[in-house]
Structure 1
Amino acid sequence: MRCVLFSWFQCYTTRKNQPQQISNHPQQFSSDFGFQFHTFSYEELLIATKHFASSGILGKGSFGIVYHGKLQDGRQIAVKSLRENNDKKVQQFVNEIEVLSKLSHQNLVPFYGYCHRHDHELMLVFEFVSNGTLADHLHGKRKKQGTLVPWHTRLNIAIEAASALAYLHNSGIIHRDIKSSNILLDDNLCVKVADFGLSRTLPLVVSTSKEAATFASHASTAPQGTNGYIDPDYFQFHRVCDKSDTYSFGVVLAEIISSLPAVDDTWNPYEVPLLSHLAMNKIQNEALHELVDPCLGFQPDNEIGESITAVAELAFQCLQCPKELRPSMKQVLETLQGIKKGIWGFHQIT
């Protein structure tokens, strides 16, 4: 499949400055990619999004704009639109489709298909996840509207996000952009991890013995991700691995505990405004109470307090450098599940 994608991307880069365009015929684009997903026509999405109305914009990012829409069969969708003639972003678009073609998990946002109109106008179509992002609920617009997320719900969110990441890593895929704004929530506050544009598939290592091939432990690549979540080891050595996602997830755990953003320049101007540094400092100096969101009712000697303390210790382990000191996401998931059951407390995970 990667060969097919690479061939298409090579064709794109050689044609992008020429007047001809990729065929507008949906089947042509589908066969170029070799995927089984539905190929939407531009007209379908034009109708679904009410001509890409500004009132339906769900968000904007480096990739482009995400629109809300409704298909004629009643399904609500999110349309991620790339409208720049930019090699790097087109490559991310191709990469995201390739990754999504391999995945199926209850905590990953469902992918419906894609659309292309011209070389510079490409779209991905996902299920619309109605309840915003984890960032919205912890320190964004929903928090400002008075929405409070109780501790047991936050713990469930952490478990479901960890489950999605453990699944990705078991499939040989590193997300590379785990953050609270890429963790979507439905009406029941169930997790749907999104945005695979920066994801990296680890190469297979074929053993000379009769053992099955395994994934390589890392890949060499220039650092990608979001400030405040990027693994310092990855940033320094340009070697990404599953433990890079573990670090980012540690930042998300710190957000879940504190309701603070990963980066905030409104803090003390004499301190580095990274939540990872703040969390490590407070946990290490036994000042966890200064980190925890006051709305959670933290008391060290009650059930919630013990659970928060255990998750804080786990976050501390996820944020360790060098990366070899961090747990795998499978271990993180098992630890969180144990904390929920009350059988894996602070002392058991140290």
Structure 2
Amino acid sequence: MKCVLGFPLTGCGIMQLIDVASFAVQSADADLPDSLVFGEFELRPGSRELLRDGTPVALERRAFDVLLHLLRHRDRVVSKDELWQALWHSRDVSETVIPQAVGKVRRALNDADGHWITTVHGVGYRFVGALEQPVRPASRHRRLRVALGFAGMLLLVVFAIWLGGRSPPASPADEATIAVLPFVNLGPDPDSDYFADGIAETLLNQLADIDGLQVASRTSSFRFRSAAGEATPALAEIAQALQVRYLIEGSVRREAERFQVSVQLTDTTTGYQRWSQRYDGRWGEILTTQQAITRSVVEQIASPLLSGAIASADPAGTATDPVAYE
């Protein structure tokens, strides 16, 4: 789930400040070298830079943290639970955020063959590359950085609590918060339920990758799947339970090589449907359709919290191969 730092501070914003402060202390750790060199790459924890042959390589904050954690614990396998607890502080996020972050690290390292990072299926990940002798800072500088790190953490937390106490926390209605509910299979083949789930989950993952947008996890939102003959909770009740403003519902129908996807976006603060669209196409066009849905949803809920998000969004990077639905 994405977290936006803004004022007045919400609980999510305070947690993000604590994230920043925690990294300040982590960066000041006496065990953390100034530079970690492996192959043509150099990771600089203090300045949060990844270089390749001296040239900066773009790597977003969470992916950088994952790479640093794997490097620091390169002597063993790092479980997904450990990454979740250490970097996401056990918060309720989509199950896909860790594989997505690792995927971004691999793309930055051009590591499609697992030369640097290997996946231990069912457990986690391990850095398997050769690391050159770390360059460590002078002990005096280490002590100074530790002191500054702790001081910065305390100041940020105290400031966050003080500022949060001055203003009431923002409600979900004031934030760019959204949940993707399970899509309904309207086709004649009940085995196509997996296709409906795949469309909804891909949309959820693409939205979760957009900065400034908070997306309820799959575990949370998919529990509102209604069994046959079972009453569906009101959208307002679902939104309140998930602490979101917007809800996405949808239905799919697949027959032979053609598909039909219908999507509705509801603003639960007003109860009105904000946007709806039906997409018809051939099977080979499913990826383009998924990307079009994501762009349309982001455009509909665009706000100051999402400034620049549409331009920077790259839904194509998280699209699902049609073969995965076969």
State TM-score, norm by structure 1.
0.25
Between Structure 1 and Structure 2, the one with more strand by share is: 2
Q: Which has the higher contact order (CA 8 A, sep 6+)?
A: 2
What TM-score do you get using the length of structure 2 for normalisation? 0.26
